[in-house]
Amino acid sequence: MMTHAAYDCDVLVIGGGIVGLSTAYALQRAAPGTRVTVLEKEHGPARHQTGRNSGVIHSGIYYRPGSLKARYALRGSAELADFCAEHSIAHAITGKLIVATERSELPRLHGLVQRGREHGLPVRELGPAQIAEYEPEVRGLAAIRVGTTGVCDFTAVATRFATEVTAAGGIVRYGAEVTAIDRRAWGVAVRTADGLVVRARTLVNCAGLHCDRVARLAGDDPAVRIVPFRGEYYELARPELVRGLVYPVPDPAFPFLGVHLTRGYDGSVHVGPNAVPALAREGYGWPVVRPAELLSTLSWPGTWHIARRHWRYGAGEVHRSLSKSAFTQAVRRLLPAVREEDLRPSPAGVRAQAVLKDGTLVDDFLIREAPHTVHVLNAPSPAATACLPIGREVARRALRRAQETGWRPPAVESGHCV
């Protein structure tokens, strides 16, 4: 058995997005004195999913009761707002409208009302005239208003987590891409592209778009493949058209919420995203192609199952990606006054969607464990909203795995890690 001094840290976290940094933050709060290191391949935090989403603090209304998404979003939205207030991070709780524009959507809208009430959320049903009171330029047959939805600067949240981690004695290394993982009876050793070796009792995989690859590096079969979907956004040149947050009624067959209107904490309004297959894990535009990553996607049987089941939906998304006119027409369902020239291209994001071999899109957060390791294998939206409770859960599992090496936390505050 290795001595304490032979370990470089107690828990090693791969990934400097909001989930990885929240996990490191939770580890130190749950067990002060725990030696934590975070490795992030980019040269700063939150460069991918965290920093490229719509910035919405989700209420939890969409998610199945009892699911991790529902539990963590309901809890996490309030906690995140408190965290932002405590640390002077830009945020606002604005509420949002979910608007039905066709009669066929009304039963689904009513189902969301019931789900919201089951979750204990403040939900108000609106008719067309009441929609106009909140959003004069938005048109719909009916809507609901959810009062607990908001917006915040998720990059600033992740950056604050990193600051808190280092202030408590942890290490956050940027520009540290993991290339090899060696798991032994005593723990794990990780090598980075520049030759750094870090030995830890426990490894936490929060690598987002690359989490399945990292799991395989550790010798584990994740049983899922990350299939990247790009979400393309526009910024509204006339932000006065939208006062707050406006969403369509989602299609339950897909994990995507559809093109929505988001007034951010800075007053800008973003429109999107659509969802199209990305040709690379970090494929933020059609020209970005990485053949090995594309082959990984195309060789996964689940990819072809998705294509066969949902090709009509996918074709529509691709059409709107390639045609600004078609995208504008989709937006006009909610916002008739919008013109094509009102939409200015804005940075895209890529969703790390875990897909099973049979083509099932993993709908809930997915956390799996193996000897000396904890893998976060599916953490798309609302993971940013739910980052604090997700971080506590992953930290709890990591601390338990670390204790299997004979280590005991220097001091455990039982109330923090639940």
pLDDT at 255 (0 to 100): 61
Mean pLDDT of the chain: 94
pLDDT at 4 (0 to 100): 67
CA 190 to chain centroid, in Å, comes to: 25
12 and 34 together in one domain = yes
pLDDT at 313 (0 to 100): 82
Between 251 and 196, name the one with better pLDDT.
196
Domain that residue 309 falls in: 227-361
pLDDT at 418 (0 to 100): 31
Contacts of 47 (CB under 8 A, 6+ apart): 16, 17
- Taking alpha carbons only, the member of 202, 218, 155 closest to residue 384 is 155
Contacts of 273 (CB under 8 A, 6+ apart): 54, 230, 231, 232, 233, 256, 259, 348, 349
18 and 90 together in one domain = yes
346 and 367 together in one domain = no
pLDDT at 411 (0 to 100): 61
| Residues 120-157: tens digit of each pLDDT | 999 999 999 999 999 999 999 999 999 999 999 999 99
Band of residue 282 on the pLDDT scale cut at 50, 70, 90: very high
Domain boundary among 339, 361, 383: 361
Is the pLDDT assigned to residue 352 strictly greater than 50?
yes
385 and 399 together in one domain = yes
Is there a domain that residue 111 lies in?
A: no
Band of residue 40 on the pLDDT scale cut at 50, 70, 90: very high
φ and ψ at 275, to 5 degrees?
-140, 110
Q: How many domains does the chain have?
A: 2
Q: DSSP letter at 22?
A: H
Between 253 and 50, name the one with better pLDDT.
50
Is there a domain that residue 262 lies in?
A: yes
pLDDT at 413 (0 to 100): 44
Is there a domain that residue 339 lies in?
A: yes
Q: What is the CATH number of the domain that holds 256?
A: 3.30.9
| Residues 157-169: tens digit of each pLDDT | 999 999 999 999 9
288 and 382 together in one domain = no
Is there a domain that residue 80 lies in?
A: yes
Is the pLDDT assigned to residue 39 strictly greater than 80?
yes
160 and 283 together in one domain = no
232 and 220 together in one domain = no
Q: Averaged over 169-190, what is the pLDDT?
A: 97
Q: Averaged over 246-275, what is the pLDDT?
A: 88
Is the pLDDT assigned to residue 182 strictly greater than 90?
yes
Domain boundary among 329, 345, 361: 361
pLDDT at 257 (0 to 100): 73
52 and 27 together in one domain = yes
- Three-state DSSP class for 388? helix
Is there a domain that residue 170 lies in?
A: yes
Give pTM, 2 decimals. 0.94
Sign of the torsion formed by the C-alpha atoms of 212, 217, 218 and 223: positive
Q: DSSP letter at 250?
A: P
Identify any residues that bridge with 361 across adjacent strands, giving them in sequence order.
Answer: 355
Percent of the chain with pLDDT over 70: 96
pLDDT at 310 (0 to 100): 86
289 and 329 together in one domain = yes
| Residues 288-341: tens digit of each pLDDT | 999 999 999 999 999 999 999 888 888 989 999 999 999 999 999 999 999 999
253 and 316 together in one domain = yes
Is there a domain that residue 140 lies in?
A: no
CA distance 40 to 383: 18
| Residues 71-80: tens digit of each pLDDT | 999 999 999 9
Q: Averaged over 194-210, what is the pLDDT?
A: 98
26 and 174 together in one domain = yes
CA distance 211 to 224: 10
80 and 220 together in one domain = yes
Is there a domain that residue 144 lies in?
A: no
Band of residue 258 on the pLDDT scale cut at 50, 70, 90: confident
Q: Averaged over 14-26, what is the pLDDT?
A: 98
Q: DSSP letter at 223?
A: S
Q: What is the CATH number of the domain that holds 395?
A: 3.50.50.60
For the ranges 55-59, 85-89, 137-141, 250-254, the lowest mean pLDDT is seen at 250-254
CA distance 127 to 214: 49
Is there a domain that residue 206 lies in?
A: yes
Residue indicated by tokens 């995208």 = 327
pLDDT at 414 (0 to 100): 43
Q: What angle do CA 228, 388, 51 make, to 5 degrees?
A: 40
CA distances from 137 to 44, 179, 194 (A): 39, 51, 54
